[in-house]
Amino acid sequence: GNSVTQMEGPVTLSEEAFLTINCTYTATGYPSLFWYVQYPGEGLQLLLKATKADDKGSNKGFEATYRKETTSFHLEKGSVQVSDSAVYFCALSGWDSGGYQKVTFGTGTKLQVIP
């Protein structure tokens, strides 16, 4: 079946540092890839997505490129802020054996940015 592997957290960075959160996946076919963010006490929100190989998703200074050759979708940001402190989930959307769309989430990576 499909699976998503994220780097374990927590990740602690100083403000303005460079962020990378690794995400790799296994899937049949051509899944869509997503990053969701969960701020404390809230539900998940879509951060960015990419629907085909070599697509780059971007939002709020975050970027991720769909790399089919390395089955990866790493999240990057050039300069993090305290307000970026949250849990980040990598996810893929594919098709299960019954022909239904199914979203598979990684375990989440907690980011803490300190002033």
Partner 1 sequence: EAQVTQNPRYLITVTGKKLTVTCSQNMNHEYMSWYRQDPGLGLRQIYYSMNVEVTDKGDVPEGYKVSRKEKRNFPLILESPSPNQTSLYFCASTYRGGSTDTQYFGPGTRLTVL
* Residues forming the site for partner 1 (CB under 8 A): 4, 31-32, 34, 36, 41-46, 49, 51, 89, 93-95, 98, 100-103, 105-108
Q: Which residues contact 75 (CB under 8 A, 6 or more apart)?
A: 19, 20, 21, 23, 35, 47, 62, 63, 64, 88, 90
CA angle 92, 94, 95 (to 5 degrees): 155
For the chain, the C-alpha Rg in angstroms (whole number) is 14
- Closer residue to partner 1 in complex, CB, 98/115: 98
Q: Least separation, in Å, of the C-beta of 84 and partner 1?
A: 19
- Closer residue to partner 1 in complex, CB, 56/79: 56
- Closer residue to partner 1 in complex, CB, 17/71: 71
Q: Least separation, in Å, of the C-beta of 114 and partner 1?
A: 22
